[in-house]
């Protein structure tokens, strides 16, 4: 499935909601380091099960710990290391130009992430992307994190948009499920460390191979 230029029966979007990790920034190496350190400090010896953790990305960290039956105490060192290593997180090639073009075309932009709000905003500030977004919403700022629709609905409300006016771009099944449950378009991003086959099985409304593909779905907003 390739990126598509139009989505049947939907008007051009007025806004785009992005996941953060794996879509805007390539944070996998830093997450791997932070998870490994947290596991060693709290659990002890043995190989940290990062591959399993990676399969649950998109969810809130405490929820992943519960799913994996790992101590919630891992959150403190994981967050500490994530902040410490934030300046090592690269932005994906093409993302700054994409965001700039979307804003020039008049679209409203927000982030809805599995991270906490403060950590997401801090990371975006470190990598220089925070000014591109009107709102950045973390999983600690809604009642039910992904795959529930709450965070996408909250982003839509903050942007003043209805479900038919926007799309959610994510690299995890939980992102797509959250978007679909909120009634908005679910768009899969394939340029990060994602399981392409798993994402395609989730039947996204569109698939993007590179950030610039999104521009096909987002023409300039025409004022009414």
Bridge partners, 185 (sequence order): 167
The pLDDT of residue 5 is above 50: no
Task: Give pTM, 2 decimals.
Answer: 0.93
| In a shared domain, residues 158 and 103 | yes
The enclosing H or E element of 100 equals helix 95-104
pLDDT band at 54 (very low <50, low <70, confident <90, very high): confident
| In a shared domain, residues 169 and 192 | yes
> In this predicted model, what pLDDT tens digit does every residue of 176-207 receive, in sequence order?
999 999 999 999 999 998 889 999 999 999 99
Residue 131: count of CB within 10 angstroms of its CB: 10
Q: Is 21 a catalytic residue?
A: yes
Burial 175-196 (b: 16+ CB within 10 A, else e): bbbbbbbbebbbbbbbbbebee
Q: What CATH number did the domain enclosing 136 receive?
A: 3.40.50.1000
Kindly state the tokens that stand for 62: 């405490």
- Domain membership flag for residue 223: no
Q: Are 169 and 187 in contact (CB under 8 A)?
A: yes
* Active-site choice (19, 63, 150, 171): 19
Q: Is 157 a catalytic residue?
A: no
| In a shared domain, residues 79 and 111 | no
- Domain membership flag for residue 1: no
* Active-site choice (2, 9, 21, 175): 21
Domain membership of residue 54 as a residue range: 28-88
> In this predicted model, what pLDDT tens digit does every residue of 60-71 receive, in sequence order?
999 999 999 999
pLDDT band at 1 (very low <50, low <70, confident <90, very high): very low
Total number of domains constituting the chain: 2
Q: Are 30 and 82 in contact (CB under 8 A)?
A: yes
- Domain membership flag for residue 190: yes
């Amino acid at each position: 499935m390739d990126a598509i230029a139009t989505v049947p029966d939907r008007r051009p979007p007025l806004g785009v909601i992005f996941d953060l990790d794996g879509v805007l920034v390539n944070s996998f190496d830093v997450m791997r380091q932070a998870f490994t350190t947290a596991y060693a400090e709290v659990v002890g010896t043995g190989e940290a099960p990062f591959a399993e953790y990676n399969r649950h990305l998109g969810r809130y960290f405490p929820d992943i710990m519960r799913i994996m039956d790992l101590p919630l105490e891992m959150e403190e060192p994981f967050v500490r290391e994530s902040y410490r290593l934030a300046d090592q997180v690269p932005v994906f090639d093409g993302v700054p130009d994409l965001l700039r073009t979307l804003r020039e075309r008049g679209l409203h932009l927000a982030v809805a992430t599995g991270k906490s709000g403060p950590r997401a905003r801090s990371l975006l500030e470190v990598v220089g992307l925070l000014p591109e977004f009107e709102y950045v919403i973390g999983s600690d700022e809604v009642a039910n994190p992904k795959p529930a629709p709450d965070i996408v609905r909250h982003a839509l409300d903050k942007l003043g948009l209805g479900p038919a006016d926007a799309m959610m771009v994510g690299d995890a099944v939980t992102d797509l499920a959250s978007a679909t449950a909120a009634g908005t378009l679910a768009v899969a991003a394939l340029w990060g460390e994602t399981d392409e086959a798993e994402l395609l099985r989730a039947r996204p409304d569109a698939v993007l191979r590179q950030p610039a593909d999104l521009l096909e779905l987002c023409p300039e907003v025409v004022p009414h």
